[in-house]
C-alpha cells in the first residue's frame, strides 16, 4: 500500500529565514506530485505539480519554489519567509498518466511565521 510522509510535522520560523519542507511517497512508481497551501480556515490552493523527476510546474506565485530530486520525493522551499507564508502545507499524489485522476493528500506540515 502507498504511504505519504511529510516532514516536519510543524515549524515555527522567523520572517526572512529559509524554509524547506519535504514529502516522500512510498509504494507508487513515478506518481504525479503536488504541493498545496491552506490558510487557517481557508480553502486549498495548488502551488506546484510535477509529473516526472526534475520537472516542476508552478501554478501560483507565492515566493516559493519546488523541486523533485527523486521519483518519490518532492521539496518545497524558500530562501526568505514572509508572514503570509504561514498556514498548512499539503503534499498530494496521483497516478501517472492522467490529469484528471484522484489526488490523495498527506498529513500536512503546519507552518507559523513570526
CB of 95 to another protein, least distance (A): 12
Taking contact as CB under 8 A, which single stretch among the options 13-21, 40-48, 61-69, 74-82 is the one that binds another protein?
40-48
Pick the closest to residue 61 from 73, 83, 40, 78 (CA basis): 78
Determine, following the binding rule CB under 8 A, whether residue 43 of this chain makes contact with another protein: yes
Cβ count near 41 (within 10 Å): 5
79 binds another protein (CB under 8 A): no
- What whole-number distance in Å separates Cα of residue 27 and Cα of residue 7? 18
Our finding on whether 34 is near another protein (CB under 8 A) is yes
Task: Identify the helix (H) or strand (E) that includes residue 70.
Answer: strand 65-70
Only one of the segments 13-21, 62-70, 76-84, 105-113 lies at the binding site for another protein (rule: CB under 8 A); that segment is 105-113
Amino acid at each position: 500500500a502507498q504511504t505519504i510522509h511529510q516532514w516536519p510535522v510543524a515549524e515555527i520560523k522567523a520572517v526572512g529565514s529559509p524554509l524547506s519542507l519535504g514529502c516522500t511517497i512510498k509504494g507508487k512508481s513515478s506518481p504525479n506530485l503536488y504541493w498545496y497551501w491552506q490558510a487557517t480556515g481557508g480553502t486549498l490552493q495548488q502551488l506546484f505539480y510535477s509529473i516526472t523527476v526534475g520537472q516542476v510546474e508552478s501554478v501560483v506565485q507565492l515566493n516559493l519554489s519546488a523541486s523533485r530530486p527523486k521519483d518519490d520525493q518532492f521539496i518545497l522551499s524558500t530562501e526568505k519567509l514572509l508572514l503570509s507564508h504561514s498556514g498548512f502545507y499539503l503534499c498530494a499524489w496521483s497516478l501517472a498518466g492522467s490529469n484528471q485522476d484522484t489526488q490523495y493528500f498527506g498529513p500536512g506540515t503546519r507552518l507559523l511565521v513570526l
